[in-house]
Chains A and B, each alone.
Chain A
Amino acid sequence: MNERLTEQKSIYLQISEMIETDILRGILLEEEQVPSTNELAKLYTINPATAAKGVNLLVDGGILYKRRGIGMFVAKGARDKILAKRRAAFAENHIAPLLAEARSLDISKEELLNMIGERTV
């Protein structure tokens, strides 16, 4: 939750991604209350409407759910959902640019695989 906002992306998207990341990392646990939009707004000095937009994105995705009069909570199975979603996007978001850069630097597929093999995940 304490990451900084960047200009490269809409703020509400960043808010929802940060909450997701916190759920993935176990900073926010399932069935636990997440900060209110006003708290988020104050933390990031952003308009509460923007924070709400980010949070609503997660509600629509079934990651968070509303408890009337109390606030937002992390849904059961939220972590798995995020994991599945991020895995699905991994190839597009991370492999594709990696391959593009490798191509323009004339790095062969073999070399690339070796480079990855040398590292531990």
Chain B
Amino acid sequence: MKRNLKFWTRFTWETAGVDLAIAALISLFAVFGAEGVNLKLFVTVAPYFLCIATIFGMMMINSGAHSIYVPLLLSMGETRRNVFLGFRYYQALLITVATAACAIIWLAVPGEVSSVGLRSLPTLICILMITASYGSIVGTIFVKWKWAGTVMIILLCGGLGGLVGFLGMAASMETLFSTALSMVSHLKELPHWMILTAFVSVGLDLLFQWLILRRQEVRL
């Protein structure tokens, strides 16, 4: 288990690095889109970019991890149980790290946006749990049925691309910040269906991956 933790911890940091890079890229777009930058406002909004980046990252990396790393680790003599647990550990660690980073920024730079942000954290965690599970399920499907996985990945990319396009348009219409802020202010409420969806997603992911992983054949 020690080796397993070592691998997945490193994997989490690598993923976090990718997420940070995506966040930086989105920030860059936002800064170019906006007229005049308010530094304090920018800093307090940045955690949202980080969350968006984490969503992106998890979708891409979770599905990639299933088709590359899961068979690879099995080929190196890890048990299915440990691969399964290691993957859960990575998901949990990444979500914890991302939301903790958001919380730290918001606590460090208090303000209107920050207080909304802090209250949105439970919702953000739920959203991240849902996307992490979705990415993982897509990855599992991709390993077992390549064509279905490909369709789901295309839908995913389309959806996320649309979101980015929408944000980009919003930025050019008004300022990105005010549009985005009006959107995120809804996040501070945590509807019951959101919690339910989060747990159902995680449950589905666990069930699905275990069913597939249990009898998976290693092909590199």
A–B proximity contact (CB within 8 A): no
